[in-house]
Amino acid sequence: PAPAGKSYLVMSNVIAAAKTTGAQAIHPGYGFLSENAEFARACADNDLVWIGPAPECIERMGDKSRARDTMKACGVPTVPGSDGTIESVEEARAFAESVGWPVLIKASAGGGGKGMREVHDPADLEAQFTAAKTEAQAAFGNDDVYLEKLVLRPRHVEIQVLADTFGNFAALCERDCSIQRRHQKLLEEAPSPALDEVTRTSMCEAARRAVEAVGYRSAGTIEFLLDSDNKFYFMEMNTRVQVEHPVTEQITGVDIIKEQLRIAAGEPMRCASRAPFLPNGHAIEFRINAEDPDNDFRPSPGTITRFEAPTGPGVRIETYLTQGAKISPYYDSMVAKLIVWGSDREEALQRARRALDEFAVEGIPTTISFHKRVLDTAIFQAGEARTDFIDIAF
């Protein structure tokens, strides 16, 4: 059936599909069961290779409050947060009063902005607490939440990491993912316009400590908040490949999925480096979502009546769309990714403008028009976008 709770989240169905087709391994992708330790164990129990980290790593880093404690113990800076999960509104209120408003409610088992709510007014706490738990249960089958002090107007900067069973490690530069709506990324670029070499080196070193602290083996991402004073704080670790991994591939020349497959096959990775990679040029990814940006990014399922993707130097498209394709209302609204690369940020921006102008999707509203407006803003052109960019610029 179409609903994920009756299909893609049913572990036995996925295992059965793998066994029926004679598959040797399962790559869990970006969402659904990709950060589910129980599913990773089910793969092993059924003689299927899990293309990802060990279940113990998923549990340790997937539980966001436990991950924060682990990072504190290995010297990675963290945002003040609750000790473990928060069970009641009263407990949440006591924490918020102790650290000061505003606070952020976050799903312990989640990612992608699901089960996450900002609370600026104490009067809104109960409603937002209930909403976060309800959304977390629907998305992850787990309604546990915890609280953090909300860092105001940060940048969202993350480090792509790879580690194998031979002790090899690589920190593949950073990605800036600050342009978001409802805590979900819309545009990512690499490298970050905000980082100097000192901060990049420090952030990559923190990512290395995080990986070593949990014995991580696979592709993963350490996500940080960067404040206005250029201080960074651990936010969470995604124990999977990210939607935005192509921008890192474009500036490093590393095929992250291929490396992930090599690691899962018990082979050494080919891009090991103790020092941070130096970025080659600049890359930007635009998430093309089936959403109406003029109506609060409302989902826009329907039929694609025209689809023409841009081509040319420095342009990469990842999509399943064709003319006549039907967009379902049941799943994530992302239907394509446009990635552009240039020898520097200005060239990448120029190629992005051309590619977006040439990108034709008709039949439904998409975020293509939104991305064009982003490129026209002085804030983005100056490389100064923060997580409140949409509220400020639009």
Q: Give residue 139's region: left, alpha or beta (phi > 0; psi -120 to 50).
A: alpha
Cα–Cα distance, 178 to 151 (Å, whole number):
13
Cα–Cα distance, 289 to 24 (Å, whole number):
32
Which pairs count as long-range contacts for 71-78, CB under 8 Å and 24+ apart, including other chains? 71/210, 71/213, 71/234, 73/213, 74/209, 74/210, 74/212, 74/213, 75/206, 75/209, 76/206, 76/209, 76/210, 76/234, 77/206, 77/231, 77/232, 77/233, 77/234, 78/233, 78/234
Tell me, yes or no, if 240 is annotated catalytic. Answer: yes
Beta strands in the chain (DSSP E): 25-26, 49-50, 103-107, 117-119, 145-149, 155-163, 169-181, 184-190, 218-226, 232-238, 282-289, 291-292, 298-299, 302-303, 306-308, 315-319, 326-327, 334-342, 360-362
Q: Of 117, 155, 240, 351, which residue is the catalytic one?
A: 240
CB 218 within 8 A of CB 264: yes
At 88, list the tokens: 């009641």
- Residue located via tokens 């599909």: 17
Q: How many residues does the chain have?
A: 394
Query: Could you list the active site residues?
Result: 240
